[in-house]
Structure 1
Amino acid sequence: MSIPAADGRRPEGVDDTTVEAVGRLTEALETTERARGHLFSFHQLTGGADGQVADAARLLREAGHTELAERLEAELVGHNVVPGRWTFQLVEEYDEGYYQLFRDWERKVRDELLGGVRHVFESEMKQRNTTDGRSGHEMNP
């Protein structure tokens, strides 16, 4: 059974399974957005740790442990996180590859099946889960 959203988001003639499928794809994109945020956290945390190692090497040098400080700097400071790459390169490759492809596909499917309308599934869930006349359950601002 189709329950058209009160805000008219569902294009005419679109079935429930299509709305659910597009909703699931959009949810997957949102999960990918979260993963991307973690990738940026990884990038920033790794860069911060590298700076901390450089500080530790400086302090070791000041404490008279020059040879150890020089080895630490030469072997760990600025070391690639994966062969040939720093974290900024991982971020760039992710953004320009998988992430962009994912975004393009979500938009393509949504455009083709729902006329580009966003959050049809959620809009209809809101309609099903609100109580008419109840404060805080209004359909519109």
Structure 2
Amino acid sequence: MAIDEEHVRPDGVDDLTVEALGNISEALEAVEVARGHLYAFHRMSGTADLTLGKGVAQLREAGHTELADRIETELVGRNVLHGRWTFQIVEEYDDGYYADFRRLEQAGRDELVDGRRHLYEAEMKEDRRTHGRPGHEREPGARD
């Protein structure tokens, strides 16, 4: 029995094309993970700056005003890269590389396999699963 229609390769599409699109999709997944790490970097850097500000205020309150002033002047609110806070890095990544990657991955699927996703994985699942065995169904609700 075939897998759901959304995950069946269109007629005339060869193995190499499905494999190529699978690799491009896998690359996009890596980019998604990298983007998540970039957002984590953004969050952690912001948290660090706010916590640093609290520490500076506490130094000042404890009478260490010279050191507090130096840290506040040199580090609190400082750019993490030349001219940029992390939100600017995230925005540039999202609007440039990330947007282009997603657009071109989608274009490849649209042009070659009618926009279908995960064909390589769907075919791998069909090949690897034990047909008729619980926990190996082709899709939710199927009994094959």
Per the TM superposition, whether the score is higher than 0.5 is: yes
- Percent sequence identity is 59
Partner of 2:70: 71
Residue 98 (structure 2) pairs with residue 91 (structure 1): no
Partner of 2:13: 14
TM-score, normalised by the number of residues in structure 2: 0.93
Q: Output the amino acid matched with 1:38.
A: H
Specify every segment of 5 or more residues in structure 2 that has no aligned partner in the other structure, as ranges.
Answer: none
TM-score, normalised by the number of residues in structure 1: 0.95
* C-alpha distance in structure 1 between counterparts of 2:57 and 2:135, whole Å: 58
The number of aligned residues is: 138
Q: Provide the alpha-carbon RMSD of the alignment.
A: 1.2
Partner of 1:39: 38
Specify every segment of 5 or more residues in structure 1 that has no aligned partner in the other structure, as ranges.
Answer: none
Structure 1's consecutive aligned runs of 4 or more residues displaced over 3 angstroms after TM superposition are none
Q: 2:22 touches 2:120 (CA, 8 Å); kept in 1?
A: yes
Q: Output the amino acid matched with 2:63.
A: G
Q: 2:3 touches 2:139 (CA, 8 Å); kept in 1?
A: no
Q: Output the amino acid matched with 1:11.
A: P
* C-alpha distance in structure 1 between counterparts of 2:138 and 2:67, whole Å: 66
Partner of 1:119: 118
